[in-house]
C-alpha cells in the first residue's frame, strides 16, 4: 500500500475477512427515472469480503474519523485509488482508513467484473483484463491486455456458432440500452460490428 514502513509513522495495517449471507433484491415494478424504486427480496447467497484497515498504532492518537473506500477493481485487482491520493492527510490528521473489497474482481474467464456492462463484456469472444501485459511500455501500460478465446472456448460458450453469439450479443446490448449505457438507435450497428468480428 505504501513505499514506506507504516510503523515508522505510527500506523498499523490489518486485514479482516467477513462472511455471511446476502439478500438479493429485484424491482417490484417499473424502474422510475427518479431513482426511487420499490424492491422485493429475490434470493440469498453466501459472500466473503475483505477489509483492509490502516489505523494509528496508538489508540490515543486516533481522532475518531474513518475514511471508507470501495476498492477499485478496474485494473483486475483491488486498488486503493483514494488512499494513494489522501494517505498523507489521513496520517497527519490521526484518521483511520478502511478499504473494502466490495466486488468480485474477475469472472471465470479472467474478465474484470463490475462497471458498465456491454455485449463485449457479457458475451465475450476474448478475455479483457486491466492488468498490464509484460513488456508493455508507454501508453500500453494503461490499456491492459486481451486474450482471444480459442476455438474450443468459443464452441463451449456458443455451441451453435456465430449466430448464437450474435443473438446473445444483441440481447446484452439491448440490456445496456435499457440501462442507458448505449443509445437504442445504435444497437443494430453495434451488433453488426460484433458479429463481423467473431473469430474465424
Helices (H), the chain: 81-93, 119-122, 151-157, 162-178, 187-196
The whole-number pLDDT of residue 131 equals 63
pLDDT at 86: 92
Query: Dmax of the chain from CA atoms?
Result: 65
pLDDT per residue as tens digits for the range 126-142:
987 666 667 776 666 55
Q: pLDDT for 33-49, tens place per residue?
A: 888 888 999 999 888 88
- Break the chain into its structural domains and give their ranges: 1-104, 106-200
Q: Supply the pTM of this predicted model.
A: 0.54
- Residues 101-117: pLDDT tens digits? 887 666 777 676 666 77
For residues 111, 142, 68, 7, the Cα torsion angle rounded to the nearest 10 degrees is: 120
Phi-psi region of 76 (alpha: psi -120 to 50; beta: other; left: phi over 0): left
Q: In b/e form, how buried is each residue of 157-186, taking b as 16+ CB within 10 angstroms?
A: ebeeebeebbebbbebbeebbeeeebeeee
Integer-rounded Cα radius of gyration of the chain: 22
Mean pLDDT score across all residues of the chain: 86
Q: Which residues of the chain have pLDDT under 70?
A: 1, 74-76, 104-106, 110, 112-115, 129-133, 137-144
- For residue 138, the model assigns a pLDDT of 64
Amino acid at each position: 500500500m505504501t513505499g514506506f514502513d507504516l510503523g515508522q509513522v505510527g500506523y498499523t495495517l490489518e486485514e479482516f475477512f467477513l462472511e455471511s449471507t446476502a439478500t438479493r433484491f429485484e424491482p417490484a415494478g417499473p424502474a422510475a427515472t427518479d431513482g426511487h424504486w420499490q424492491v422485493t427480496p429475490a434470493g440469498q447467497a453466501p459472500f466473503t469480503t475483505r477489509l483492509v484497515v490502516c489505523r494509528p498504532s496508538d489508540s490515543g492518537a486516533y481522532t475518531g474519523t474513518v475514511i471508507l473506500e470501495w476498492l477499485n477493481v478496474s485494473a483486475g485487482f483491488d486498488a486503493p485509488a483514494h488512499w494513494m491520493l489522501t494517505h498523507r492527510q489521513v496520517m497527519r490528521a490521526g484518521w483511520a482508513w478502511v478499504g473494502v473489497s466490495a466486488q468480485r474482481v474477475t469472472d471465470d474467464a479472467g474478465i474484470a467484473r463490475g462497471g458498465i456492462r456491454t455485449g463485449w463484456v457479457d458475451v465475450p469472444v476474448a478475455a479483457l483484463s486491466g492488468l498490464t501485459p509484460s513488456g508493455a511500455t508507454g501508453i500500453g501500460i494503461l490499456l491492459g491486455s486481451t486474450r482471444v478465446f480459442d476455438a474450443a472456448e468459443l464452441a463451449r460458450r456458443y455451441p451453435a456458432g456465430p449466430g448464437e453469439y450474435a443473438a446473445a450479443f444483441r440481447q446484452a446490448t439491448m440490456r445496456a440500452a435499457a440501462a442507458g449505457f448505449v443509445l437504442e438507435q445504435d444497437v443494430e450497428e453495434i451488433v453488426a460490428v460484433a458479429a463481423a468480428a467473431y473469430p474465424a
